[in-house]
């Protein structure tokens, strides 16, 4: 086998090029459904409370909202960040979830949670809570 390859180098080069061309042609003809585009709905909830330290934001606002958001359906995972005066929670939904329904669910849960906060926190938080929706392509 090695002697044949050494005696006929052009034949080996042609066979390698033929295999490469067949590979590229089959890759181009591959159906699109093998690599579908998936849009994952993401809802971000930001609560602003000026003057609070990150530890207070986490214990008083972020943790409570996260617990309440777990009641929503179709949630895949959550990420949160507590900064000085700001609580940011991102809720990632399962692919195929209606983004508008996801925003409504999270908004309703957030408003229900605002009622459970103490009156002093509720007055300051209610003014500055916002929900935003986006989809992340994967």
Is the domain of 63 the same as that of 15?
Answer: no
Please report the pLDDT score of residue 16 as a whole number.
Answer: 95
Sort residue 29 into left (φ over 0), alpha (ψ -120 to 50) or beta. Answer: alpha
Across the chain, mean pLDDT equals: 81
What is residue 123's predicted lDDT score, i.e. its pLDDT?
A: 45
Give the C-alpha separation, 73 to 98, whole Å. Answer: 11
pTM: 0.64
User: What pLDDT band is residue 97 in, cutting at 50, 70 and 90?
Assistant: confident
Same-domain check for residues 12 and 69: no
**Residues 106, 55 share a domain:** yes
The domain that contains 55 carries what CATH number? 3.30.70.1430
* Cβ neighbour number for residue 126 with a 10 Å cutoff: 14
- Which of 32-46, 83-97, 112-126 is least confident? 112-126
Is a pLDDT exceeding 90 seen at residue 17? yes
Over residues 96-101, the mean pLDDT reads 86
Residue 35, pLDDT score: 66
Total domains present in the chain: 2
Q: Give the model's pLDDT for residue 57.
A: 86
């Amino acid at each position: 086998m090695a002697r044949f390859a050494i005696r006929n180098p052009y034949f080996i080069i042609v066979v390698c090029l033929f295999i490469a061309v067949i590979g590229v042609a089959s890759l181009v003809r591959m159906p699109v459904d093998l690599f579908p585009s998936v849009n994952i709905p993401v809802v971000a909830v930001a609560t602003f409370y000026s003057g609070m330290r990150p530890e207070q934001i986490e214990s008083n606002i972020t943790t409570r909202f996260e617990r309440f958001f777990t009641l929503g359906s179709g949630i895949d995972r959550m990420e949160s960040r507590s900064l000085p005066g700001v609580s940011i929670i991102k809720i990632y939904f399962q692919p195929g979830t209606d983004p508008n329904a996801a925003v409504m669910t999270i908004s309703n849960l957030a408003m229900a949670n605002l009622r459970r906060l103490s009156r002093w926190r509720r007055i300051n938080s209610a003014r500055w809570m916002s929900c935003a929706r986006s989809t992340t392509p994967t």
